[in-house]
Structure 1
Amino acid sequence: MRKWLTRSIVLYFLYAFIVYWYLFIFSQSGVPAPYEGTSADPATFMSGRELILSEEYSTIRNFLYFVTMPFEWFLLFVFLITGFSKKMQEWSNATSRYFSLQSAVYFFWLSLFVTIISFPVEWIGYQVSKTYNITTQSFSSWMKDQLIDFWVNYALMTVVVIVLYGLIKRFEKKWWLYAWLLSIPFSLFLMFVQPVVIDPLYNDFYPLKNKELEEEILHLAAKADIPGEHVYEVNMSEKTNALNAYVNGIGSNSRIVLWDTTLNRLSENEILFIMAHEMGHYVMNHIYIGIAGYLILSLFGLFLIHLMMKGIVKKCGNLLHIKSIKELTAFPLFLILLGVLTFASSPIVNTVSRYQEKSADMYAIEMTQNHEAAVSSFQELAKAGLSQVNPPALVKIFRYTHPTMIERILYLEEHGEKQSGN
């Protein structure tokens, strides 16, 4: 056990050093020479101080992402190899003879210990955002959101654990297929209730106060055949200076939502372009395409997890204190493999997402025909979030679900030149 713990710690710090070297020393995020002085060059729309802060903030945030992302895997591995996961199962077994209650108790202890140990990491991320004036949220408000996160995730994941291990116990060879089938209605249900049940736990939503702007947005929505009687505003200025807008939910619970920071900082034309972008996702069925892609990946992912869990338990079961995948003790192994496969598939998922985002951009510019507002909206988004316009390659591959700002501004300008040429 000591040997494996020592190896894992050394490997983790080696990985962190490589990430640090890549982000802080090796990679370059400046604008290529041909684009210097263009509207895609941050030097044309950011002050000198904003340029420095955006590079610092983005690099630190990227470093924290890549370093903390495997930290939970490491914690779960420690729980397994030290026998702590087995001990938690013993505690849960002693509380009740009913498997569902045992699962709920086991996952409560697992969630609690992971949350407590990971808290300093989360706090560092909060402090970094606070230091660079991205986060405006007070510590008490931030802690409230952390507690809400804990209980919402616990409630949802407890259902998952009970169903998952009920299937594994009953259908050891085919559990992955039945779990996948059940995940379809569960995922659709979550998407349906999120706008009206989960999101309001964190923020206050109310109809857009600017009725003239609401009328303009609903006019765009009508042109796109998007159902909706109201546009919602959310008071994000209490928590952040970043900008955002979105259309979420499915069916009758779909919502058009604007952050009040976006309303306060952008012009009406810029807001209309952003809303047209979000409507483009709806019109091109990106939500449903995303669901279909998620289901395909999750089917293969669950099958791979099944094979890997069987192989790992067979070879390393004694080391990890796991006798069978049917035991709750093995759940941390499930989470580790799920996290690793999710991270490994992120380049593919992000590539598809970036394609969809570009399609939505092009839809928005065709609808609004206002290239100046489109470009300036992206410039304001970059300034408000202190975002790198041209991030390092690996950051883009693993983190960016949207095209980089330099890409978005350049293809919008190219579209404008073609339009003026015609």
Structure 2
Amino acid sequence: MSEPNLTRLAPWVAGVVVAAALVVVIVTTTPWHLIDLPTPNASLDFTTAEIDRQNRFRHELLPWSTTSWVLSVFVPLAIGFSPLGRRLYDALKLRRWYFAVPVLVAALGLLASLITLPTDALAERVTRNYGLSTESWGLWLRDRAVNWVLMSLALIAIALGLIAFAKKWRTWWWAPAAIAAAVLVLGVSFAYPVLVEPRFNDFTSMAPGPQRDEFMQLAAQDGVPVKDVLVADASKRTTALNAYVSGFGSTRRLVVYDTLLNNAPPEQVRLVVAHELGHAAEDDVLHGTLIGAFGAAFSVVLLKLLLGARMSDPRRTALLLALIVAGTTLAAPVQNLVSRRIEARADYHSLQLTKDPKTFIEMQHQLSVTNISGLDPSRWRTWLFATHPTPPERIAMGRAWADKYGTPVPPLVQR
């Protein structure tokens, strides 16, 4: 094969191979079926008042949050896919591209943040009115500023790296760039718990006592090595109850919100921790990171097919950002589908570990009522935003598990 033909065909072949590998990994490692579920029915376990409150909350919140999301997608697309993006770059009048690109990326991020500020503030006001948000307006603005800085740094690194690769290897830039993108995803996921999370919360080791001993014993019973349980000071921002696992390897951490420890019964907290141990036992963070690494590599190959050698032109930085936004938006339904299945497996794991379906159902009810979770979101919202099963779906799993093992749990709402 001649060199021009090889140069032309190589990214197509690489794209097909990486895409196929990504599909195989997702299809073969995602837990598509765990247990046969009854039809979810919120009225079995939520009172009319609880359902009405959730409906009112979402009726007031969603117009503002949806508008913010639409603007956050539309603004970069409108700028990047029009001549305005190149004009903004030229308007900077910076001779060195490696100075101009960071300024443009940060400025476009700031513009998007400012445009969504009013609707975000209105959404925040709704969460305050319902007692879900507790943070001051100063802290709210500070969080937005920190998020803008972190996102800008990440996008600046991506833009500078891609343009630099394209300038050095105008034809084959995509190959080393795809490898670098995959490595970057691995590195960010590994370092996230120690570099990013402390920018928003303070973490302290859970105080010694019976509850901590129970968590450590539960982890040992599950065969999950846990050196410590960290408590996040989430109460300065929210009344929501939560816990999570982040990182992998030496940076893996089990984090519990102080709101959960202070406001939920110990037996329910135990179920939440068992759910998070399920993520750790299955290495879900590492699994998601590897999928993300494949996805990043495929995205770079796709950029090669879309832009070719034009990737070396820094005047197309806004277009690059627009393509990143478009790609992440289009990938969201698949990512969320996989996430919902992974979360369902962690729920199942917690049931297998604790063998306490009654408390599991009570815990899911308590989390949903406190967090004002959506009980029956529309299909398009589920696909675009839902990373977890709905509370009625999670309760249906608990009830199905209880029926399977001969310990039926009656509805929480007696009619």
- Give the shorter-chain TM-score range: 0.7 to 0.9
Could you tell me the percent identity over the aligned residues? Answer: 23
Which residue of structure 2 aligns with residue 417 of structure 1?
A: 403
2:82 and 2:180 mapped to 1: Cα distance? 33
TM-aligned CA distance change 1:218 to 1:81, over 3 Å: closer
> Are 1:163 and 2:161 counterparts?
yes
* Residue from 30, 38, 46 that aligns with 2:44: 38
Aligned to 1:148, which of 140, 146, 149?
A: 146
Find 1:295's aligned residue among 277, 293, 296: 293
Contact 1:269 1:373 (8 Å CA) reproduced:
yes
**Aligned counterpart, 1:316:** none
Greater RCO, 1 or 2 (C-alpha within 8 Å, sep 6+): 2
- State the 1:188 CA deviation: 2.1
Q: 1:207 aligns with which of 205, 208, 227?
A: 205
Q: Secondary structure of the equivalent of 1:150? A: helix
**Matched length:** 371
The answer to whether the 8 Å contact 2:332/2:384 transfers is yes
Give the aligned CA root-mean-square deviation in angstroms.
Answer: 2.6
Query: CA distance change for structure 1 residues 329 and 73 in 2, over 3 Å: closer, same or farther?
Result: farther
Describe how 1:23-422 pairs up with structure 2 within 5 A: 35=41, 37-39=43-45, 42-43=46-47, 48=49, 50-80=50-80, 83-94=83-94, 97=96, 99-209=97-207, 211-309=209-307, 324-420=310-406
Displacement of 1:184: 2.4
In 1: Cα distance, 2:40 partner to 2:310 partner: 59
Write the distance in 2 (CA, Å) between the matches of 1:33 and 1:277: 22
Q: CA deviation at 1:378?
A: 0.7
Deviation at 1:240, TM superposition (A): 0.6
Distance 1:352 1:75 in 2: 28
SS of 1:70 mapped into structure 2:
helix
Q: Could you list the runs of 5+ residues in structure 1 that have no partner in the other structure?
A: 1-31, 311-322
2:185–2:292 CA contact under 8 A, matched in 1: no
Conserved 8 A contact 2:76-2:325? no
2 CA distance for matches of 1:63 and 1:153? 25
Give the TM-score normalised by structure 2.
0.82
The superposition leaves residues 228-283 of structure 1 with CA deviations (integer Å, 9 ceiling, x where unpaired) of 32211111111111111011112212111100111122111111111111111111
SS of the aligned residue for 2:388 comes to coil
- Of residues 405-414 and 217-226 in structure 1, the stretch that sits farther from structure 2 once superposed is 217-226
For 2:290 and 2:324, the matched residues in 1 are separated by 19
Q: Contact 1:309–1:334 (CA<8 Å) still a contact in 2?
A: no
Output the CA distance in 2 between the equivalents of 1:113 and 1:296: 31
Alpha-carbon distance in 1 for matches of 2:128, 2:212? 32
Query: CA 1:130 to 1:171, structure 2 compared with 1: closer, same or farther past 3 Å?
Result: farther
Between 403-412 and 72-81, report the one with greater CA deviation.
72-81
Report Cα offsets for 1:45-100 as digits up to 9, x if no partner.
xx62x432311223444444444333233322443477543344235452x53x43
CA deviation profile, 1:305-360 (whole Å, cap 9, x unmatched): 433346xxxxxxxxxxxx94432232222222222222222222222211111111
Instruction: Check conservation: 1:305, 1:338, Cα contact below 8 A.
Output: no
- Any conservation in 1 of the 2:231–2:255 contact (CA below 8 Å)? yes
Mapped to 1, the partners of 2:315 and 2:119 lie a distance apart of: 25
Letter matched to residue 70 of structure 1: V
Q: Distance in 1 between matches of 2:130 and 2:171?
A: 51
Q: Deviations over 1:10-53 (max 9, x none)?
A: xxxxxxxxxxxxxxxxxxxxxx99947523xx22xxx62x4323
In structure 2, distance between residues paired with 1:261 and 1:36: 25
Q: Would the aligned equivalents of 1:62 and 1:395 in 2 still touch at CA under 8 Å?
A: no
Question: What is the one-letter code of the residue matched to 1:74?
Answer: F
Work out the CA distance in 2 between the residues paired with 1:172 and 1:127: 50
Change (3 A) 1:233 1:71: same
Unaligned 5+ runs, structure 2: 1-37, 409-415
Amino acid at match of 1:357: E
Partner of residue 21, structure 2: none
Partner of 2:25: none
1:24 alignment counterpart = none
Query: Structure 1 CA distance, aligned partners of 2:403 and 2:107?
Result: 59
Deviation by residue 1:108-151 (Cα, 9 ceiling, x = unmatched): 32233332223223222222222222111110111111121122
Alpha-carbon distance in structure 2 between the residues aligned to 1:80 and 1:185: 27
* Aligned-partner Cα distance in 2 for 1:341–1:81: 14
In structure 2, C-alpha distance between the alignment counterparts of 1:63 and 1:167, rounded to whole Å: 42
